[in-house]
Amino acid sequence: MANRQPIQNQLLEYVKQHEDDDLETSTTNSGNPLINKDASQTIGPKGFMVMQDYRFFDQLQHFDRERIPERVVHAKGAGAFGYFRVTHDITNYSAAKVFSSIGYTTKIAVRFSQVTFEMGSQDTVRDLRGFAVKFYTDDGIWDLVGNNTPIFFIQDGILFPDNIHILKRNPVTHVRDWDMFFDFFSKRPESIHQLVWFYGDRGIPDGYRHMNGYGSNTFSLINASGELFYCKFHYKTNQGIRNLDAQKAREIAGNDPDYMLRDLYNAIASGNYPSWSFYIQTMTIEQAKTSPFNPFDVTKVWPHGSYPLIPVGQLVLDKNPTNYFAEVEQLSFNPAHFIPGIDASPDKVLQSRLFAYGDTSRYRLGTNNQQLPVNAPKRFKNFSRDGKSTFDSQGGAPNYHPNSFGGPETDPRAVALSPRLRYAGDVGFYDTGFEDNFTQARALYQRVFDDAARERCIQNIVYDLKNASAFIQQRQVGVFSQVDESFGRRVQEELGKYQPLHAII
Ligand code: HEM
């Protein structure tokens, strides 16, 4: 096995682990012995197949149903398992059991993903990356479904389907359409902060191990006294940030489309376990009221100067999946899965997500998706029963409430830790997408990027923007100019090197 990567040796490892086993005979799905695996049953060697060949149908019917709908976004991904260990006490902010004491350890599942394209796409395309963490806590599942960026393109979930449509394929031509792409972004300037990040160096990480994760949305923490703090989650790579430049990424896309998946698997299989340091930022209710930016707007970061990172613990991945379909494809996350001590906030994108994930999991995996082993909590006790693929009927406990037969009760600790917030306002449709979109995008472009990074960002933009119609190019250049006059000018200059696609309309 010398000179081979661990990911190439899966079948050889299987043989090694099973060399002392007796050879097992094959069966149908119902455990009946197979008679012949190389031939179906026919009338003579050249004749028709016969209807009674149940064993043949058993195999084909299962094959016909092997694929389930892929995720509508984040379809291509890699998963792994490990643990979260607390290194610092944050019980003054949250009474969640997962943070209960230094050294406290919780099992986790992580799925990394790219957002836009399908299951079979190349790992090194320019895109945001998903970094979703499932914590199997003593209080049930906590899903922290983050990305590798602290911000997002939109502020209101009603625009999410549109935002995703323009990133994906044109419904007629079935290829990416740069008119759609920049038409939307140039008309929704709240996207500019994320767009500058997207075309910056972090837009193509050099593997999942070398990128940070962020809960991105604003959450709430509740402590044992019932005090509430708004919060952002950050998980910073201990492997160091590493990115791919655009040219190298295109070469890898051709040579090794599964580059990131392979890297993660090999690292874990070699005992080189990747880890991330986990932090929070917190904001009091009073600070949120007087904040100069909307703390519930996911197109904004919370400046670290005002809201410093508070260390919490370590995320470590030390186990590869034993089967990709069972443990990664069937893994399903839902930002609505909170545990006592952690909750939602008025962040509109988070509020939208609280509906979308459970809904899509029921479509993709069925009503009982949370009973699948990889999704299942340590225990559950409720009044739901039945539905397709029920595994656990809760041992005959009553399925109605209230009852006199020892049925489950509400947990007073969970009641005490549920957030109590007071909000008042006029019900309406508030489009906030045009409020101060440029201050933070400008800080990213002018202060975080250096000259060379700015130039790479411009070249990355022009590589795509040159394919859009001239009038859309002009509108998008106008948005870059509002970030920084020289930014718009440089993009315009570079676009001038290409023939305009058609006139402004
Ligand atoms: C309104 C905004 C959003 C909506 C409606 C939305 C909806 C969805 C949906 C429907 C899926 C597919 C889930 C599945 O099939 O299991 C998904 C996946 C995902 N989303 Fe979002 N999303 C939104 C914003 C975000 C944001 C802001 C983040 C990051 C902070 C994010 C991170 C992810 C990740 C990581 C996955 C993949 C989860 C996995 O690995 O299974 N999404 N999203």
Residue 333 structure tokens: 């996350």
Q: How many domains does the chain have?
A: 1
- Which of 70, 72, 74 has most ligand 1 atoms within 8 Å of CB, for mutation? 74
Give residue 433's pLDDT: 86
Classify residue 439: in a domain, yes or no.
Answer: no
Residue nearest ligand 1's atom 16 by CA: 332
Which residues of the chain, if any, have pLDDT below 50? 504-505
Structural domain containing residue 133: 76-150+204-376
User: Can you say whether the dihedral through the CA atoms of 373, 377, 378, 379 is positive or negative?
Assistant: negative
- Give the position of tokens 């409430």: 401
Give residue 505's pLDDT: 45
Instruction: For ligand 1, say whether the CB of 338 is within 6 Å of any of its atoms.
Output: no
Classify residue 288: in a domain, yes or no.
Answer: yes
Classify residue 66: in a domain, yes or no.
Answer: no
Tell me, rounded to whole angstroms, the distance of Cα 299 from its chain centroid: 17
User: Can you say whether the dihedral through the CA atoms of 102, 108, 113, 115 is positive or negative?
Assistant: negative
Give residue 502's pLDDT: 57
Classify residue 302: in a domain, yes or no.
Answer: yes
- How far are the Cα atoms of 130, 188, 402, 425, 426 from residue 484, in angstroms, in the given order? 29, 17, 62, 36, 36
Give residue 308's pLDDT: 98
Determine the length of the chain: 505
CATH of the domain at 143: 2.40.180.10
Instruction: For ligand 1, say whether the CB of 77 is within 6 Å of any of its atoms.
Output: yes
Classify residue 500: in a domain, yes or no.
Answer: no
Give residue 99's pLDDT: 98
Instruction: For ligand 1, say whether the CB of 213 is within 6 Å of any of its atoms.
Output: no
- How far are the Cα atoms of 27, 288, 396, 475, 495 from residue 438, in angstroms, in the given order? 64, 20, 59, 16, 22
